[in-house]
Every structure is written in structure tokens, then in C-alpha cells.
Structure 1
Amino acid sequence: MTRQTDTKYYLRALKNILKKGNDSQSAFSDIALKLGINFGVMGCDEKLLFGSFNEEFQSFNLSLGDIIYGRLLASNEDGRLLANMVMVLVKKELEKKKIGNEVLGLYREINMIYSFSEMISEKIDEKSIAEMALREASQIINSTHGLFLIYEPKQNKVVELAAFGLNPEKEKNIDKLNDLLKKLINKGTSAIVPSDKIMDNPALDHLKTIMYAPLKVKHRTLGMVILGHNNEKEFTAAELKLLTTISLQTAGALETAHLYQKGLQEAKEREEAIRSIHEVSQKFVPNEFIKSLGKDRLTEVSLGDLVEKEVTVVFADIREFTTISENLNPEDNFLFINSFNKRMGPIVRKNGGFIMQYLGDGFMALFPDGSQTALRASVEMHSELKVFNEERAVKDRFPVKLGIGMQNGNLIMGITGDIERLDAAIISDTVNTASRIEGLSKHYGSSILLTDNCKNNLTHPEEFDFRYLGPVQVKGKQKPIDLYECINGDSEQLLKHKLATLNTFEEGMKQYFMKEFAMAAVTFQQIVKKERNDSAAKLFLNRSAHMITQETGDDWKGIASISSK
């Protein structure tokens, strides 16, 4: 700030501590009375702010450093003590405002980071990601030029994905600086380039100041983001930190885009592998299904046989199936799925359920006896999965993760098809909802996710431990659904953590739905600090931090809207 601006800033602080109704007024008056003096406080604009004025009063400057922002006028020399007290309070007022501005700046920075994360997560092509990263960076960091560069190993050169700012010689300059840029990308660090180094390089003579940050994913650097200014403007360490944060988030989005493109290329092979599994499973109708129709043998069923029943529908899905199967040929994929199903199928049957359909990387199971048996089976499946993964670890194979979602309700089970081809079929909104809940288990990072219908259907709920995750509006449903996370399927370490923080999590949820977002963010941050793998706590931390800066109406109920499956 300039000297004139500083003076006005200090004067404003002086006026704040002397404003009407402030406790400092009565404190000054009491001290003056005990000292036996009359006094007045005058600003540097020569306006009397408090007290009285007499031409014979002694004057004591009110200052900070070499800047005088007012005077204290007193009837005798003891006024100096009162002046010192005023200066201390003004200094404290300035410190309080400085802290407040820093906190506000941090909230704005957090809000920007979360908003950017949400926007960039919707992009799946490299160019759109690069353009968005530069656009967001230029909006919060004062810059006239920007470059988004990617290193292409096959070409052994650095290429531009996006740019802004006038630079007619841009392509030539990138070629000239290619060796330097590759060196900086390999180094993988952020930096502000001093102006004297810029002047030494003709390819950068259109800029006065530069800073850059790497596009880093784990131990690999994909490229770099460069911002520059054509005036004598020095970038700050805080701005470099922001650019580094944006670059790291962007690098993650780029990696996702790469995997997406790779997934498209491998989709045909994976689809063939899954189709082969489907073709085998579709040849059979579960015996339990036949019995539910009141028949003893498959030969007794007829086209059009049906029955309406209340059941619990469970969808189980192998997480990160692509990672596990990408190096496997179709036959190995088939063997892997069979080895998984051989372990899970018996658990389903043991608890009174049956697998209605195998889905390649998972299955759908029905439990006619309700949620108690379905949830018990889900917990046992996770226990069996731990044994399965221990055996895989011995063979140096990827661990398998399992996500489960369930819903309880009525459905119609029957036989459909034609006279040449019969098939078992179920028709129900319950099935669609259960499938949506399984998909949401990925969003919340939960091993087992169930609805309030399922929880209310439990005959012995004390057998399990739950965390309430709030209402959600799923695609295709008019009314929101309350979700619960059963934590008994988690790893031993994560379960121990969640049990220890159950009350804290519940308090955070109460604060969130009472719109106390700042308090909720603090509460969830306490949980995340203890265990960074607590995905649900991390999700509500992000939601709370985002909602701090959002306006909410009286009708806000905290319903999460999830449009995808």
C-alpha cells in the first residue's frame, strides 16, 4: 500500500475502536477520570472522534512506524499514557483485520480449488482440460500470456495443447526452447523465473516475468503450465502455490483422459471377455428362482408363470475391474471371474439368497428372507474377500475390491420369452434402485451401501454398525432416498477408525444439515486427519467447504443430486 493509503487504513482502525457503543470508549473515560485529566481524540483529518477539545490541551501523536494517523489531546502530561493505550488498541485492531483477510483469502482459495475440481472432472479430452486450466489460472492470477505444454515421448518433443496472449513467434519459440522445456519437465518442479534470466533469452523477450508448474502424476511429469506477464509485475509465492495446485489437479484429469482413451481401445477385447461370461450364465435359471414360482423342477415352468414377492435386491461389483483385467486375455479373465464367483456364490446361498444374474464384473442377488440375511451375506463376502486377496498377494496379483448396494421392496418374478427360448425375468423399480445404490457406493467410497427401506427391514439391526450419509436424489426417482453405510465390511484398520469416530461423524452430519457448514468442515477435517482413506468423511468435508460460500434457501435439505448410475 502507498503511504496515503496506509494513513487512511490506520485512521479507519482508530475510528473502529472509538465508534459509539464500543467498550473502549468507557475504558478511556474511566482511565482519564482516575488520572484527573480531560482529553479528546482527533484523527489526522483534524476531526474530533471522541472526547472534548481545548486550545490549551497538550497534543500527543498517534502513530505506527513513521505514519501519524491522529492525535490525543489532554489537559496534562498524563495524556501520554492514554495515547500509548490508544496506539496499542489500534495495532491490535489492525492485526485482527489482517488475520480476517488471511482467513477470507484461504476460504476463497479453497472454494476456487473445489470449483475447479468439479469443472475439470467433467472433461474427458486433453484440449478441453488444457484450455480450462489456463482459463481458470488466468482469472485468479494476473497474467497476459499462458502456455499449456505436453511432452510427447514418441516425438521426443514438447507440444502445445492450449495458449493465450499475443505471441506471433510462439511455435518457433517453443521449438527453440524445446531442449530447455524437456529439461524443466523432467525436473518436475515449480519456479518463478527472475527477470534477468528472461532478458538473456531472445525467445522470451516479449515477457518481463514468468512462472511455471509441472503437470505431475505420481512419479511422472506429463508436461507443464507456464504463465507470463509483459509488464514489470513480480509473481508471488502464493500465486506460484495456486498455479502448482491447479497443475496437479489438471494432471490428474489428463491421466484420467489418457486412461479413458486407452479404455476405448481395449473395450472390444473386454466386452468379448464379459460377453463370453454372460453367454454361459444366461443358459441357466437359478433353482431358487424356480422354487419361488412354486415349482420343483425347471421342466414344470411355463411361459407366463409369475409371482409377486417382497425381497432384498443386492448388486455386487468388482471395483477397478479394468486394472485387474487389462493384462489378462479373455480366457484368464474368465478364470478370474469364476474364481471370484466360486467364493461369493456359496455365501449368498448360505444366507438364503440366490444369484439371479452374473454381470461379468459382478452379480445381482435376491434375498427372499429380507435385509437381515442380505446384509449378513454382504459382510461375510467382504470377510471372504480378505482371504481371497491374501492368496492373490502370494501370487503377486492385484487385490480385489468389492462394492455392494442394496434395496428392499416388491418385485415380479416370472418366465418370459417364447416357445423356443424361455428365460427368468424380474420386473421392479426395486432392482433399478438397488443398481443405483451400488453405483453410489463408488461415489461415497463405501464397501456396503443400503437404503432406509433396507435398514428398517432389519430384524436385528444391532448386529451391524452404520453411518448415516443423508438423502440422495438418484436418476429416475421422484423422491429422495436416505442412505446408510454399513461399515462392517471395511478393512480392520478402517473399521476401527470409523467405530472410534462414529459420534464425531454424526455430529458433522448434524452440523451439515443444520447449515453450519464451517463447523461441519472442521468436524469432518478432524476425521480425515485421522484416516485419509475415510472417503465419506472426505466427501462431506469437500461438500461443507464448498457450501461455505454458497447461499441456501429455506427449502434447502441437503439432498445430493446424482444424475449418473
Structure 2
Amino acid sequence: MTRHTDSKYYLKALKNILKKSHSSEQVITAIAAKLRLKFAVIGFDDKLIHGTPLDSFQSFPLNLDEITYGTLLASGEDGNLLANMIMVFVEKEIEKKKIGNEVLGLYREINMIYDFSERISEKIDAKSIAEMALGEASQIINSTHGLFLIYEPEKNKVVELASFGQNPDKEENIDKLNFLLKELISRGTSAIVPSEKIENNPALNHLRTIMYSPLKVKHRTLGMVILGHNEQNEFTAAELKLLTTISLQSAGALETAYLYQKGLQESKEREEAIRSIHEVSQKFVPHEFIKFLGKDKLTEVSLGDLVEKEVTVLFADIRDFTTISEFLTPEDNFLFINSFNKRMGPIVRENGGFIMQYLGDGFMALFPDGSQAAVRASVEMQASLRLYNEERSTKNSFAVKLGIGMQNGNLIMGITGDIERLDAAIISDTVNTASRIEGLSKHYGSSILLTDNCKNNLTNPEEFDFRYLGPVQVKGKQKPIDIYECINGDNAALLKHKLQTLSTFEEGMNLYFNREFAMAAVTFQQIVKKENTDSAAKLFLNRSAHMITQEIDEDWRGIASISSK
């Protein structure tokens, strides 16, 4: 404070003790009465503060720290004693004010620290913590510049997280001072920098005063906080203490943030690992299978979990694979199967099905939505196979043929095995029947074969074209099964032929089951003459011709008995 400011400050204290409500005024008045003194007090500004002006008086100066802030006018020599007493009261009043201000300042500091600690604990990233710390420091400490620096051990470098104040060469200056900054951080102490050290350092020529405090946590220092002023405004020990408190709070928040981020990263890595495992395991055990069991993840299933579900089971098989594989190396065989499967699998999934099991030269798929999706997928697979064969023909590779058979019905899906080895399994006669029907597709020369259960399950049968192939007695079954050929899986020329002869084929089948074998043979002969590759027509032509020479039992119903798969 200036001398004038000090005089006003002291004058204010003088006025305060001479108020009639103040106990000191009562003491002064009582002593003056004992000394039989009349007195008055005027301020350094010559204004009357207390008492009444006297005609004759002696003046006694009232001063503190060599600064006169008033005068006592008394009627006798004992006025000197009264003046000394007034000055003691003023000095005590000022001390009381200082203590009050210090207590208030301490209360504000504690409040600030508590509030800052609460707010900074909510931050979970280093940059936000740095910005809040500098913002708080700049509000309570008179400064024009601030830096929040972090030491990065991996780079062996001190870098900025936040700053305030104009400093166009900031990054360059930080680089120049990096060695010094690392040394100060390693020391882990707070300090006010002497002015001569600032003046002798070109990187600090934009500042006149500097202080710094470490970001210390436990037994290590994370970085430091620096405050500066571009004028000769010396920092105080109290301000350094405040900065140290802010730095310690910030360091704790930084450590928590780093631990949080580390934990978050580890959690993400664990989640990623689990997700990867889940994705991989899902390729071995279809996710749809897990969902049918009422689970979300493979890790949730347990031995004995099961569910009953109505589905369409589809078997697909590469024709004559054994013969094909004889001309391929084991590696080429493996590549061939993979090339085939990667074309068929997506078609199954796109139609709402999933591959339950790969069988080397084929696969078993399940269609929860029923036969419509299964037949549609079958037609698309045959179309995709034709494109695949076109690609193979350009490389002089053999053409691949695919037989598909399906059945619709209930099955049990569940987890079987033992406590050490679990497996996803399905148990059902539906599966066995579907496998047999796929085998029959080879016997009838059909690309797609299905049972009457499948055909009856179709939601939109008009989408496809079928030929009835009669009842069959498959191996392991007591009752015969009516089967149908879906001709939409054939190539364009064969499909056109079958569509054109659809009614003729139906007529031939009626003649055959009515035991009019000669007429049936003539009818099927008409079809075969038009297209020699119509395997089913050729098969029934031979059957009709054979039956002409046979004795027929009365209970004959035309059931074909197929003993092989």
C-alpha cells in the first residue's frame, strides 16, 4: 500500500475505536475524565472525528509505522498519555482486522480447495483436468501466463496439456527448455524463480516473474504447473502454497484419470477379445442355434440345454465327390471344398437359414422359417453353382453337380457330451429323413428333392414348379413318403423342357399308378425323346417297361423301395 492508502486505512481504524458503541471509546472517555482532560480527535484530513474543538489545547500526533493518521487535541500535558492509549487501541484494531482477513482468506482458500477438489474429481481426461487447474489458478493468483506440462517417459519429453497467455513461441520455448523442465520435474519441488534467472534466459523474455509447482503423486512426479507475469509483480509464498495445493489436487485427479483410462482400455481389450472369441466360436457353433436355446452367448450354454423346434432340414451333397477327389491332391481337395462352401454358405444365411454342420463333400442346413426359404435357397444355390462351373470351364476344370434333399418336421436341438467336452447336437427323425431324401435325389437325377411335408409347408407354393415322383420306402422308415422334384433348380434348357412337358409327365405318372404301364411307357417315351437328360422321365419309362412283364399284387401302390442312401 502507498503511504496515503496506509493513512486512510489507519484513520478508518481510529474512527472505529472512537465510535460510542465501541468499548475502547468508553475506556478512553473514562481515562480522560480521571485525568480531568478535555479532548478532541481530528483525522489527518483535518476533519473532526470525536469530541468538541477547544479554545486552548495542546496537540499530540497519532501515528503508526511513521505514518500520521490523526491528531489528539487535549487541555493539558497528560494528553500525551491519552494519545499513547489511543494509538495502542488503533494498533490492536488493525491487528484484529489483519487476523480477521487472514482467517477469511484461509476460509476462502479451504473453500476453494474443497470446491476445486470436488469439481476436478469429476474429470476423467487429462486435458480437461489441466484446463480446469489453470483456470482455477488464474482466478486466485494474479498471473498473465500459465502452463500445465506433463512428462512423457516413452518420448523422454515434456509436453503441454494446457496453457493461457500470449506466447507465440511457446512450443519452441518448451523444446528449448525441455532439459531444464525434466530436471525440475525430477526434483519434485515448488519454487519462485529469482528474477536474474529469468532475465538471463531468452526463452523466458516475455515474463518478469515465474513460479512453479510439481504434479506429484505418491513417489513420482507427473509434470509441473507454471505461472508467470509479464510485469514485475512478485509472487508471494502464500500464492506458491496455493499453486502447490492446486498442483497436488490436479496430480491426484490425473493419476485417477490415467488409471481410469487404463482400466477402460483394458476393459475394451477384454471386450474385444471376448467379442473375437465369440465371433470365432459362433463360426463353429451357429449363433442361431444358441438363440434357439434361449441364450445370447456360447458361454451361457450348459450340458443338457435343449429345445424342440419345427424346422426344415436341408442336406446338400457334391455328386461323385469320391471320384473327383481321386484326381486331386489333399491340398487341392481342401481348397476345392472351401471354394464350394464359401459360395453356398452365404446363400443359406441370406434366406434365413444356417449351416448346422459341414460334412466334407456337403453340409446340413436348418431353416427355422420353413420350406419356402429352404426351397428358395436351393434354387439360388443351383444357379450359383452354374456360374461357378462356367468359371471352372475357363480353367479346364470338371463341372460340379449338387444334389439337395429336404424334410420338414420337429427336432430336438441341444447341448450334449460330458463335463469336459460339449457339442451342439440335433436329434430327430426329420434329420435322418432329409439325409435319405438327399440320397434319393441322385437316384431320380433331380437337383432338388423334397417331401410332401415340405411341399405342404410352403407359404407361397406358386413361386416354384414341381413334379410328383410318387411314394418311396426309404431305408429305416416304416411308412412310405411322397416326394416331389422342384425343377426350378435345373439349367434353363432342361427347365424349359420340363415346364413344356409338365402335363405330359403328370399324365404318365397317373397311368403308372393306375397300372396302365404300357400307356405310361409310351407317355414317358414321348418326354425322353424330346430331352434325353430328363432323368426322372427316363427312370419312370424304364419302370413302366419293366412292370409290363411283371405280375402285380393286388395291394401294389407303386411304392418304390430304396435300400441305399
TM-score by length of 1: 0.50
TM-score (norm. length: structure 2): 0.50
